[in-house]
Amino acid sequence: MLPEDIKETFITYLKDKAHRITNERFLILDASLNMDEHFDADELYLKMKNDYINVSRATVYKTLELMSECHILTKHNFKGDRTRYETKIGRNPHYHIICVKCNKIIEYEYPELEKIQKKICKDNNLEMVDHSIQVFAKCKDPKNCKNNLNQNNLN
């Protein structure tokens, strides 16, 4: 999906919900798509501030929620702390393995799983719209694990 198409998706959603088309919303959309990995509202706010793009924290929170509602972003809670977001655009469905010792996140794809989920939803008279899957594990290699310890880094 091209950036223009994403913008179009967002505009279509906003119009559909009778939300207004504002410059702030596009600034936040652009900034989100430029984030490398998972990010939270405050990180995005600070990144934008650092780039001299001034929008308020409240607007960032609200806009991320809108983008998650129209499936441009997925919401995650990897460790029960802050809500983190991730762009779905240009990515296959994937899942997260989180080391409970060092917080390292490994992503994996398993296309079959998406089919299973959709089937189960259908069987229950539901229409699947998204997912957030976390598998918790421990690094077996202590060296790899220690390297990431104390970073408190979930990106």
Partner DNA sequence: TTCAGTGCAAAAACTTTGCAGGAGG
Partner DNA sequence: CCTCCTGCAAAGTTTTTGCACTGAA
Long-range contacts of 102-109 (CB under 8 A, 24+ apart): 102/139, 102/144, 102/145, 102/146, 102/147, 102/148, 102/149, 102/151, 103/78, 103/79, 103/148, 103/151, 103/152, 103/153, 103/154, 104/139, 104/144, 104/145, 104/148, 105/38, 105/78, 105/154, 105/155
Q: Is 148 in the site for DNA (CB under 7 A)?
A: no
Q: Is 92 in the site for a second copy (CB under 8 A)?
A: no
Closest separation between CB of residue 154 and DNA, Å?
A: 10
Closest separation between CB of residue 94 and a second copy, Å?
A: 11
Q: Is 30 in the site for DNA (CB under 7 A)?
A: no
Binding-site member from 20, 36, 141, 150 for a second copy (CB under 8 A): 141
Which of the residues 100 through 119 are near a second copy (CB under 8 A)? 100, 106, 108, 110, 112-113, 116-117
